[in-house]
Structure 1
């Protein structure tokens, strides 16, 4: 596996990864209506190109196939962060998170934060993120539960994980 910076040519494959992961992995924690609202079939590629290009976006690939991606905003917010449905629990997320943390350090960011899904919460907890609060968000008329989570550089080593 190798990590690299996002390129515009990656967009369609990233969109498919996002859609498939939510519809085949997150479906275990959310209803069909919720996942359809979260990852609709008719996503706009131009919106994705703009979004992915406006952040520090990294992709993980193996044998030319994108198997994960993560986005870091300049304020330390981790936005979209997904691993391919066929590459769950293989260390891909940890490697992407390490890359985002490294980038954050070079930017002088002292805290990472995200809104983790029910599905992603255990992963972020395993990487020493703490739950700040549970919240309900609305996507296309559907309410979904997620968790505001953060990890401070000053309170722990950013790249440490629970053993």
Structure 2
């Protein structure tokens, strides 16, 4: 498995990975209505391309398949961070997070933070993040529980 930076040609695969992961993995912790609001069928590829390109986006690749991706913003915020449904619990997230932490240190950041889903909370805790607070957010008229988490580098 290799970790590399995002390329525009990755967008379609990343969007599919996001959709499939939310609908097949996060569904354990959220309702069907919530996952439909979180990852709708009509995802705007152009806006995702702009968003992925505007951050430090790292991609885990196994052969020609994208196994996961994670985004770091210059503030230290980890935005989207997802592992392919078929690559759960295989070290993909750890590899991506290690790359994000390395980039954060290169940028002179001393803290990372994220809003982790119920599903992702245990992963982030296992990597040294602590929960700052539980919160309720709204997307497309659905309310979600997630956790503001941070880690000092």
Structures share fold, TM-score greater than 0.5: yes
In structure 2, the residue matched to 1:106 is 106
Gaps of at least 5 residues in structure 2 are none
State the distance in 2 between where 1:85 and 1:64 align: 16
* Other-structure match for 1:45: 45
Q: Which runs of 4+ in 1 moved over 2 A?
A: none
TM-score by length of 1: 0.93
Question: Deviation at 1:149?
Answer: 0.1
| Alignment of structure 1 residues 52-63 onto 2, 5 Å | 52-63=52-63
Alignment of 1:8-23 (within 5 A): 8-23=8-23
The equivalent of 2:95 in structure 1 is 95
C-alpha RMSD over aligned residues: 0.3
Structure 1 residue 122 corresponds to structure 2 residue 122: yes
TM-score (normalizing by structure 2): 1.00
SS of the residue 1:105 aligns to: helix
Q: CA deviation at 1:142?
A: 0.1
Secondary structure of the corresponding residue to residue 103 of structure 2:
helix
Q: How far 1:13 moved relative to its partner?
A: 0.2
Q: Deviations over 1:89-126 (max 9, x none)?
A: 00000000000000000000000000000000000000
SS at 2:119's partner residue? coil
Cα offsets for 1:32-69 (capped at 9, x unmatched) = 00000000000100100000000000100001110100
